[in-house]
Amino acid sequence: MSRAIHSLLTLAVTVSICICLPLVAHGQGISSNPEAASIFQQGLDAYEDGDYGMASRRFQIALNSYPLHDKTTAAWIMAGKALYLAGDYDDAADILDDLIQTYPASRYASEALALVTYAREMQMAGSDRESINLGILLPMDGDARSLTQSIFDGIHLAVNDFNSSPGAGDLKVRMVFRESSGDSTQTTRSVRELVDEDVHLFIGPLYSQEALTAAAVAEQERIVMIAPLATDEEVSEDRDYVYQANPTLEMRGRLMARMAVTGLRHERFGVIAEFDNAVSERMAEGFQDEIRVLGGEIDFVDLLPGSNSWFRLQDRLIPDSLLNIDAIYMPIAGGNAPTLVKGALDSFDRMGVPVRILGNKEFHDLPSKSQPSTYHTVYTTDFLLDPENAALELFKLRYAGLEQGEPTTLTYVGYDVTRFVLQQLLGERDVRKALDRSGFYQGLGVRINFAGGHVNEAMYYLRYRNAELEVIR
């Protein structure tokens, strides 16, 4: 079983996924039992189909009806998991306790102990507390598993914080996990399963294409969906129940334009973007649209024929024509974006015109601070950690207890988005109303402000000055 799946299952989340178990439960030399193996497989089939009641019964038959065999401890741990996912926390804790006591050296002992802890937590939560059912819709295929593990770790920590907070009062959060997929049929089915589980809202999926599929179903079923990463504006466009916690590409351009006009007091602009690069073009379009809304002027727009043109901007621009420009917006994107940023700055060095440059997150923390300082470069980014934030250090210490290594950007995203949502529900149980009335939120690494809409409009603004990097807003 992969570490990601192991961790998800031990983090007390309702999940329906395929698993792979070892062929030998206690070590080499233990005999197999074909009949027990057949019943064990029936349990796996039921588990994968989400029939946890049937699965727990088949696993317990494989465990209790035969002498020791090579599936004994595997059946034991799986019976506990199935009972947990069926909501039978008492029996889950008891059967897993028995496993730990009987086989303390089993490879499953630490996993069983973790799951017992979560089962006991659910028992202590008590049925007298009002439940918020939080759906989690994330991919489990291929390389996506590690991404899912990272964001889920953050979600889980935020839920634990909420459930243990005195401020939560009579509220508790119950997590319900379902798998998203590049297959639209699978994603659609998963969203409908979340609806059947009476979730109040769900977080996910990760990618824009899956999010588009999920958003259509969420809107139809009138269930709130919060996409944590998707940047395609069509995900939430013209929808009442779908929100995007990550600013869309268009919004990123608009936010840079607002800073340029209202913050930096500039009026005249140039725009350089890469043709047929959807990310670069869409940000450039958002910037232009917002500049015009704010009464600014776009003197020129240059769409580069390819990424190599960033290294030869002096061949496309006339230096004297830039003298009356207040700033040039250059949304650079692509796998080699840092190299392209350096190439663009080198081009301006060769032109010798100290015009202000406006950029996107690819301009963040460049190796040389003096070169972008020459152009008073200002840029936006959607994620930033403050090393002096005491809450950040506390989070890192708590995360270390999960033994997952260092928290990733996705871990912080999962934590911040979940914490933001749950905080809104303290005063308003209607999720849509709560989100529509929400204000600015400063997380550990993410800022969120829907500003009455459905797309996050909060980012960080930084500038290079005197060979140093500083946050200006």
Q: Return the CATH superfamily for domain 128-246+383-457.
A: Response regulator (3.40.50.2300)
Q: How confident is the model at residue 300 (pLDDT cuts 50, 70, 90)?
A: very high
Share of the chain above pLDDT 70, in %: 91
Q: What are the structural domain ranges in the chain? A: 10-125, 128-246+383-457, 250-381
Burial (CB count <10 Å: 0-12, 13-18, 19+), residue 158? buried
Q: pLDDT at position 399, please?
A: 86
Cβ–Cβ contacts within 10 Å for residue 397, how many?
A: 9
Structure tokens at 179: 């798998």
Most confident of 1-5, 51-55, 171-175, 212-216: 212-216
Average pLDDT over residues 95-110: 85
The fold of the 10-125 domain, in CATH, is 1.25.40
Q: pLDDT at position 39, please?
A: 95
- CA 185, distance to chain mean position in Å, is 22
Statement: residue 314 has pLDDT above 70? yes
Given CA atoms 283, 286, 289, 291 in this order, what sign does their dihedral have?
negative
Q: Would you say 448 and 382 are in contact if contact means Cβ atoms under 8 Å apart?
A: no
Same fold, 10-125 and 128-246+383-457: no
Q: Would you say 386 and 392 are in contact if contact means Cβ atoms under 8 Å apart?
A: yes
Q: pLDDT at position 124, please?
A: 58
Q: What is the mean pLDDT of the chain?
A: 88
Measuring CA to CA, which residue among 324, 323, 331 is closest to residue 287?
A: 331
Per the confidence metrics, is the pTM higher than 0.85?
no
Q: Return the CATH superfamily for domain 250-381.
A: Response regulator (3.40.50.2300)
